[in-house]
Structure 1
Amino acid sequence: MHPSHVPETVFHTRVRNDALGGANPFEWRDLSSGTIFANRRIVLFAVPGAFTPACSETHLPGYEALHGEFLSLGVDEVICLAVNDAFVMFQWARLLGAGKVSMLPDGNGDFTRGMGMLVARTDQGMGSRSWRYSMVVEDRKIRKIFAEAGMRDNPPGVPVNVSGAPTILDYLKST
């Protein structure tokens, strides 16, 4: 059973600050769930890990490609979440040329745990990770969640069957 509202947690992010200058003009910024989700319509999709095959080949690119359509349907922001740190999320987006979708690091898995979506991927040497899912959130309330079937620890892989961008887009068009 998933919560009816997004869990309250703090995300440790890195943001660009050109005033810092130099080769690494980024600084830490903590963002709360309230800051991200309050009074906003958000599409969030969670992936098992940055740089992993299905996440890199299908999941993130699908949301990046349809980003404009989400915004045209009243979505304020499209967010990709992974139990990875801010540095990994930044480099993954950079490698894929993903600049429309916001990358949200859940490095300690606090949000993912609160969602009931934290699974072990220890057989693959990946520690704890998010199960693959997507959701529509309006002012912190989870309106609809699409979680991939068979949630369990140490799956051989988690395909993108129901959590991809077309599914969320169809849902938004029907509401």
Structure 2
Amino acid sequence: MKAGVKLPDVTFHTRVRDEAVGGPNPFRWEDKTTADYFAGKRVILFSLPGAFTPTCSTYQLPGFEKGFEEFQAQGIDVIYCMSVNDSFVMNKWAEAQGLQNVQVIPNGSGEFTRKMGMLVAKDNLGFGARSWRYAAIINDGVIEAWFEEPGLADNHPEDPYGVSSPENVQKYLQDAKAEVAA
């Protein structure tokens, strides 16, 4: 659907660990751009409705984390997890999940998600504006492959999961590699 589309230019407001700050919360603000995250790299970006939510915390994020080496073997440099949550929430979620491989991108304002056409209302769950669940393989800032859950809509009564799963993205990469080899 979105293959060949260049990612929107956005500035993400992040918090990065800096021991020079001291105290119990040694983080400082650091703005990063779309180019900082995606330029010159082949990455997987997956976006989900919310940090600490059941499907995201039990299946999607852990699956990408555990499969990192397999994804690297398929030519992936970095895996990013994005959510319409602020940097404080995303950093705490990454810590709670014990992430070593997947990096989180906070999209607290939802600007990137909106420009991707994936911002939906989740008022029916008390969330407000959030991302529809999707994954993408991105090569140097351009979408190579797109994996969007069916039913994109405001206040969808369900949270579909499968198309954007790590297993499905890995299958796509394996099939593409086999096709090239044939």
TM-score scaled to structure 2, two decimals?
A: 0.92
Match of 1:146? 147
Deviations 1:44-66 (A, max 9, x none): 00000011111111111110110
Match of 2:76? 75
Cα RMSD, aligned residues only? 1.3
Distance 1:59 1:157 in 2: 16
1:44 pairs with 2:48:
no
Q: What is the Cα deviation at residue 171 of structure 1? A: 1.4
Output the amino acid matched with 1:76.
Answer: D
How many residue pairs get aligned? The number is 175
Output the amino acid matched with 2:17.
Answer: R
Distance 2:37 2:99 in 1: 20
Distance 1:90 1:146 in 2: 25
Distance 1:103 1:147 in 2: 19
1:31 pairs with 2:29:
no
Output the amino acid matched with 1:146.
Answer: F
Q: What is the Cα deviation at residue 79 of structure 1? A: 0.3
Q: What is the Cα deviation at residue 157 of structure 1? A: 2.5
Aligned-pair identity (%) = 46
TM-score scaled to structure 1, two decimals?
A: 0.95
Q: What is the Cα deviation at residue 113 of structure 1? A: 0.5
Match of 2:91? 90
Q: What is the Cα deviation at residue 20 of structure 1? A: 2.1
1:156 pairs with 2:157:
yes
Which segment drifts farther, 16-25 or 86-95?
Answer: 16-25
Distance 1:95 1:23 in 2: 17
SS of match in other structure, 1:137: strand
Distance 1:159 1:51 in 2: 17
Distance 1:67 1:161 in 2: 18
- Structure 1 unaligned runs (5+)? none
Match of 1:119? 120
SS of match in other structure, 1:136: strand
Q: What is the Cα deviation at residue 70 of structure 1? A: 1.2
Q: What is the Cα deviation at residue 95 of structure 1? A: 1.6
Output the amino acid matched with 2:30.
Answer: R
Runs of 4+ residues over 3 Å off in structure 1: none
